Structure 1
Amino acid sequence: MVLRRLLLFCLLSFSFMAKAQVLSPQAKVSLLTVGPGTDIYTFFGHTAIWIYDPVLGLDQVYNYGTFDFRASGFYWNFLRGNLPYQLSSGPLDYPDPRYSQLEYWKSENRGVIEQVMNFTPEQKQRLFELMEFNALPQNKTYQYRPYYDNCSTRPRDKVYEAAQGTIRYDSTDAFLVGRSYRDWMNDYLTDSPWSRVGLNLALGYPIDRITTMQQAAYIPNNLLRLFDRAQIVRPDGKKEKLVLQTNTLFKAEPQPTSFLWIAAFWLVMASPLLILILRRKQIKAGGTFDRTLLFITGLFGIIHTLLWFGTQHGITDWNYSMFITNPFNIPALLLLSRKPRWLMYYFIAAMVFLVAGVMLEVLFWKGTYGMIFLTVTLFVRYRHLALYVKKGQSV
């Protein structure tokens, strides 16, 4: 068995070495930074490694973080955090636009910036061989982690590995320090309030940790800045800029912000409080309005619980939004008609947890400011429900 494995390893290694080409002196290796798109998985941009050699006729772009919607169990695996991602490769430019990476990004109006690496021929060759080895069928699939191991962090690490630790980052760059994963994420969700609330509610304490400069490079534009200000150390100790040249391959056209969607978002988020204010005399404690609130918040609380304990994301753990979207509101709803006396203490406790949740939201500034309307409404209705149970009124 051991002999068979050794033989297989030798065959694979020989196959890889036979396939790998030696780059010419005219070859260049570049980092490509692609701007944000309109789909949620493109909101934060993209990073790719491009290796181009006109002598060999080589034009290869390596993309981490690609996936197949048609894969068996795609949505289930995605929700559970088990979705396998892959390294894919293809030409940057191609006569047939269907196979051209650049034309695809242009069609989505996503800007493309090239940073040519100031590498020696040996470093270029090393990066090329690293990427080719990673692109082999047995190596290209990996477990994607959106904030720690994504389409931007992998190119960062491969470039650093190819340079064999000779890259020095600018420790004086204050822009890339002092912010959390969540802070960086929210910068790209300003024009997408629905996604902003949804992601911030779903993600827990792990993304509130402050990032280092290298960790902040999980955002492609941050990696662009990190490399732009970095230096590379030569064998004689001389330091040179890591980026030899920066080229704009495509400049995206500015897109107007859809204020209609933003207005609709605020209207929906404010609707519970507006209904409470405008129809306060018609709303009865324990009635349809209260039951709807308990059901919706309880349902989201259950979803948060499942994301925490039923998935392998890691970033959905320790979610203090559960103080607001309380999963215990579902059993409270089911027992509301019976009005057991202890339910009064539950609603009082729910008020305390609600205040604690708001304090944590403010402390870590999740950016879910639209939730303020719901929290105020919940606080008022929890108080009414506590009195409702205490007095033993009928529904």
Structure 2
Amino acid sequence: MTIGPGDIYWERFGHNALVIRDEQARTEIAYNWGMFDFNAEGFWPRLARGRMQYYMQGFPASDWLGVYRRANRDVWVQAVSLTPSERLELQVLLTEMDTDANRHYRYDYYRDNCSTRVRDALDRVLGGQIRMVTEGTDTGATYRWHTARLFQPVPLAYAGIQFVVGNRGDETISVWEEMFLPLRLREHLGDVRIVDAEGQPGPLLGEAVQVVEAVGREPIPLAAPDLRLPLLLLGIIVGAFF
């Protein structure tokens, strides 16, 4: 399940989840790694520094879908082509993660977030096939470029995140790294071909079906604005007070 960007600045990257349908148990659980506690001690300072404590949790998929329908956010679903043993391994893995002992992790905007956790879980049950075919391909994009592109509606938040990005934000990233963005994860996994139990290559993902279409939401920006002048002026203003 892939969710488009929302209105609040921490929703600008979009979101995603892995949905496990158990026909025998008649359950459909959406596991996502985007949970956090506003009331946790030091939450806001850690949020500003990109050092939050996040956790994963499973919810009934229908309830989770309703959350994003009410939030007027785009939602796509598509099947992942796994063998029966891989599906079982993924289900066991997610069930084990969805416990108090294992659910928490230290969030990183780019290298350890809700989307990279989905990527890594799939890559684990596929024996590293995703990483093998994506890590060596350069996208030509950078973390900073993507941040500027997606944070155009909230420029003050973008300016603050620059302190988190640092120098690493200007290095070009691989396809593997670019999957920190849920929509890029969906796009790139759509290009991945894996080897099935019979040794035959085939697409990892099935066709994407849009189950919720946002109404009146601005299109996702395709390019980053040139913010050098605004940031220079902001630096001059801030410097005048210190």
- Kindly provide the amino acid, as one letter, of the partner of residue 218 in structure 1: F
TM-score by length of 2: 0.85
The residue that corresponds to 2:20 in the other structure is 51
The residue that corresponds to 1:250 in the other structure is 212
Candidates 222, 239, 244, aligned match of 2:184? 222
Q: Shift in Å at residue 143 of structure 1?
A: 1.1
- Kindly provide the amino acid, as one letter, of the partner of residue 125 in structure 1: L
3-state SS of 1:136 partner? coil
How far apart are the structure 1 equivalents of 2:130 and 2:142?
24
How far apart are the structure 1 equivalents of 2:237 and 2:82?
59
* Structure with the largest fraction of helix: 1
How far apart are the structure 1 equivalents of 2:238 and 2:98?
52
How far apart are the structure 1 equivalents of 2:154 and 2:213?
22
Partners of 1:196 and 1:368 within 8 A in 2:
no
Candidates 134, 137, 162, aligned match of 2:125? 162
Partners of 2:110 and 2:180 within 8 A in 1:
yes
1:375–1:55 distance in 2 versus 1, CA, 3 Å: closer
Unaligned runs of 5+ in 1: 1-31, 94-99, 258-364, 382-395
Q: Shift in Å at residue 168 of structure 1?
A: 7.3
Matched, 1:191 2:153: yes
Partners of 1:168 and 1:230 within 8 A in 2:
no
Matched, 1:33 2:2: yes
3-state SS of 2:17 partner? strand
How far apart are the structure 1 equivalents of 2:130 and 2:101?
29
1:377–1:150 distance in 2 versus 1, CA, 3 Å: closer
TM alignment of 1:34-113, pairs within 5 A:
34-79=3-48, 82-93=51-62, 100-113=63-76
The residue that corresponds to 1:9 in the other structure is none
Q: Shift in Å at residue 79 of structure 1?
A: 4.4
- Kindly provide the amino acid, as one letter, of the partner of residue 97 in structure 2: N
- Kindly provide the amino acid, as one letter, of the partner of residue 186 in structure 1: A
Matched, 1:146 2:112: no
1:250–1:56 distance in 2 versus 1, CA, 3 Å: same
How far apart are the structure 2 equivalents of 1:91 and 1:45?
20
1:81–1:244 distance in 2 versus 1, CA, 3 Å: closer
Partners of 2:131 and 2:176 within 8 A in 1:
no
- Choose 180-189 or 162-171, whichever is displaced more: 162-171
* Structure with the largest fraction of strand: 2
Q: Shift in Å at residue 101 of structure 1?
A: 0.9
3-state SS of 1:116 partner? coil
Q: CA RMSD in A?
A: 2.8
3-state SS of 1:252 partner? coil
Q: Once the two structures are aligned, what percentage of the paired residues are identical?
A: 27
CA deviation digits over 1:39-82, x for unaligned, max 9?
A: 11101100111111233111111110310112233234444555
3-state SS of 2:55 partner? strand
The residue that corresponds to 2:230 in the other structure is 370
